[in-house]
Amino acid sequence: MNYEAVIGLEVHVQLNTKTKTFCSCSTEFGDRPNTHTCPVCLGLPGALPVLNREALVKGILAGLALNCEVAEYSVFARKNYFYPDLPKAYQISQYEFPLNKNGYVIIKDDNGRDKKIGITRAHLEEDAGKLIHDEDPKGPSYIDLNRCGTPLLEIVSEPDIRTPGEAYRYLIAIKEIMQYIGVSECNMEKGELRVDVNISVRKMGSRDFGVKHEIKNMNSFANVKRALEYEIKRQIKVLRAGGKLKQETRLFDQSKNATVPMRTKEEAHDYRYFPDPDLVPVVLKKEEIEEIRAKLPELPEEKRKRFVQQYGLTEYDSENLCSSKKLADYFEEAVAGYKNPKKIANWILSEMMKVIKEKQIPIEDFKVKPVMLRELFEIIDSGEITGKIAKEVFAEMADTGKKAGEIIKARGLKQVADEDVLEKVIDEVISENPKVVEEIRGGKKKAFGYLVGQVMKKTKGQANPGIVNQILSKKLELQ
Ligand SMILES: [Zn+2]
């Protein structure tokens, strides 16, 4: 009997507002602990929350980008639980009336076909603070409430995901969309995107759901994939052996590459949700929602399609360029008015990405600006330098931020196209390689490339290859 996995994901995305969800404290990351707090986010008696308009607008923008219906009426609710990093003993979230619902994203399934993954809801809530535990287990724990009250968007998917690969691509899609619309940087190291997984397995063809397991606190997409791979195998093994699964929450242990039990259902929370009496319901007019929709930029999926059509790129290249909005923007700026965008795309994806990876810098800090890359290509096209020299020039541009023209001039890299000069070098090469010459005349065409290589070597890569080919063919009477 074959089994299949049924997977749903809950993604928490931190919205990049300047101030917190219900107070005017700064959301700046990494400042001294407990310096961004006030009576509201400390949960002091009598303090009243006021909704941050920017958080609401970004929440709506994200909902629209996820193809959701934006509710004209939504309500903030209290989710009650006690934990030291939550001074109010409740989190303000949304329950019965979320801001966004019934959306979807398109991903590729494991066979490369488009697949729609439903979004049940995407609601606004506030984050908790952070506990910092001493390395000594007997030592104290510290509380930093700077993050407490920071806006989050919780995106809950339908259980439409079937494989770890689909889960991985869904997460990439969510991250790309959030970055494209500018509501979050989704930096996982800063905890700006966090993932909880719901997973069960069932017999292939069955419509019922199996026993649900939750895996919490995953800090990378790769770990989500690994945890799912492990958990699917584990659950199927239990069922095949005739065992029973019990509903539980598990944690992924990276060192063991396995999931381990955290708590069973009996210990699960009852959050006693109720509408927060301190906050009025959010009532939106259709026109207000449409106004925000008008601000939606081109989304990754649309951009990928346009790049293929407009610039004649392959789907693969287009996908790689659009994987980051900054990279896509760089490409478009570089090819503006240039006749062969495919050539620049190839260069960006090979040469440029290699250098950026080596330097470990974000693209905005890369010293070769898009216009400078285009200038380099115009110089290559003019025949002034060869592709080989261009790589050298590019490396120096990336190190120094100098323009291609400057470097070529300073280092005397201009291509040698002077036929008299080249003829001399070619004569040398011919007289130094009588055997090869004989082979070529005898019909071994492959050896021709060797002689061209020798000419390039003598000219330090600066000979114009087209002219070298011409002269060499003539001299060997191949024409
Ligand atoms: Zn505050």
CA–centroid distance, 37 to ligand 1, in Å, is 4
Q: Residues with Cβ within 5 Å of ion ligand 1?
A: 23, 25, 38, 40-41
Return the higher-pLDDT residue of 255 and 178. 178
CA–centroid distance, 331 to ligand 1, in Å, is 41
Mean pLDDT, all residues of the chain: 93
pTM score, two decimals?
Answer: 0.83
CA–centroid distance, 214 to ligand 1, in Å, is 32
Torsions phi, psi for 322 (to 5 deg): -85, 0
Q: What is the pLDDT of residues 311-329, one digit of tens each?
A: 999 999 999 999 999 999 9
Q: What is the DSSP secondary-structure string of 406-442?
A: HHHHHHT---B--HHHHHHHHHHHHHH-HHHHHHHHT
Helices and strands (H, E) in the chain, number of each type: 16, 16
Residue closest to 307 by CA, chosen among 347, 285, 335, 274: 335
pLDDT above 70 (res 173): yes
CA–centroid distance, 87 to ligand 1, in Å, is 12
Q: What is the pLDDT of residues 104-143, one digit of tens each?
A: 999 999 999 999 999 999 999 999 999 999 899 899 999 9
pLDDT at 265: 62
d(CA 49, CA 66): 28
| Of 76-80, 129-133, 347-351, 416-420, the least confident | 416-420
CA–centroid distance, 23 to ligand 1, in Å, is 5
Q: Give the rounded percent of residues in the chain with a pLDDT score beyond 70.
A: 98
Parts of the chain belonging to CATH 1.10.10.410: 419-475
CA–centroid distance, 278 to ligand 1, in Å, is 15
Local confidence band at 261 (pLDDT 50, 70, 90 cut-offs): confident
Give the CATH number of domain 419-475: 1.10.10.410
CA–centroid distance, 31 to ligand 1, in Å, is 14
Torsions phi, psi for 106 (to 5 deg): -100, 130
Reduced to 3 states, what is the DSSP secondary structure of residue 117?
strand
